[in-house]
Amino acid sequence: MNSIRALIVDDSSVMRKIVERSLRQAGMDLKLVLEAGNGAEALAALQENEVDIVLCDINMPVMDGLEFIKQLASVPNAKGVPVVMITTEGSEAHVLQAISAGARGYIRKPFTADQVKDQIIPILAGKS
Amino acid sequence: MTASTATPAAFGTPQNWTPLLEQAAREVFEMMLGSALTVPEHTADETPDITSMVGLAGELCGLLSIRCKRAAAMLMASKMLGVEPAQVGADMSDAFGEIGNMVAGNFKNKVPGLGDGCMLSVPTVVTGTDYVLHSNGATPAVELRLLFENMPIVISLQVSE
């Protein structure tokens, strides 16, 4: 797989590190990893940078993950960038809410590197 | 939005919740820390000095807490991050809070019919022993005493009636 650029959005810096480690354990060659602590920070990061995928929590202060997805279309750099939710909110209603908002994948915490891989590789393959 | 008339009893009893909470905790520790929780042979006589708390609101209101010694929380963070305990530093509280958050989230997703109607607060971590926890109308519903790497941890779920 080619090098990828990822944006990881979570209000926990520990979870951001764990998601990055899971991507590496899943065999991803990370050319660029950006981090944001909420949806607003993520939108700001995408104004300045292009990424191949966004991995995003739902429950965050300032701007949550669902609102972030809704506003993503307004960022020229981010059009068509797939977003995968990584969250403790695992009910079917939350999954449907995220998918209808535009999420391409959904990973429930706790998760393994294999689960991250299973979600992300098909999405990145479909994008290329 | 419609008002819910569900009561805690609609989602089972503490007897039903105990195995779900234990399974939720075991999955978090196995998947995120690579550690299997075990059951102690005797009750440990240790006073926990760090607590991770996550509030539940909605159709099931209450508080989930995880209590242990600081050394245990430090080891949890080190296993989560894949670093030596000495390298954990300020990430300990964040990691311990996230463990509480994941156990609470995983638990509520296992209670049939509850996931959609129950929200979680952001986690809070309290250090020290000189405090009393008051949660409105809550009684200890479930208390699990387990071992993490041979160190005692107590996982409690208090539910408001």
Residue ranges of domains in chain B: 12-160
Residue ranges of domains in chain A: 4-127
Q: Is B77 in Cβ contact with A14 (below 8 Å)?
A: yes
pLDDT surpassing 90 at residue B53: yes
What's the token pair of residue A17? 């590190």
Mean pLDDT by 10 residues, chain A (128 residues): 89 96 92 97 96 94 94 89 91 86 93 92 77
Chain B residues in contact with A90 by the CB 8 A cut-off are: 105-106, 109, 115
Task: Specify the pTM.
Answer: 0.90
Q: What is the mean pLDDT of chain B?
A: 88
Give the mean pLDDT of B135-157.
Answer: 86
Contacting B with CB below 8 Å, chain A residues are 11-15, 17-18, 21, 59, 61, 87-94, 108-112
Fold of A4-127: Rossmann fold (3.40.50)
Question: Residue length, chain A?
Answer: 128
pLDDT surpassing 80 at residue B80: yes
User: Given this model, what pLDDT does residue B7 score?
Assistant: 58
Residues 6+ apart with CB under 8 A from B89: none
Pairwise CA distance, residues B68 & B44, whole Å: 11
- Running DSSP on this structure, what letter comes out for residue B38? B
Cβ-contact A43, A75 below 8 angstroms: yes
Chain A residues in contact with B94 by the CB 8 A cut-off are: 12-14
Q: Is B98 in Cβ contact with A110 (below 8 Å)?
A: no
Mutation target among B2, B79, B98 for the A interface, most CBs of A within 10 A: B98
Cβ-contact A85, A58 below 8 angstroms: yes
The dotted CATH code for B12-160 is 3.40.1550.10
For chain A, say whether B101 makes contact (Cβ under 8 Å). Answer: yes
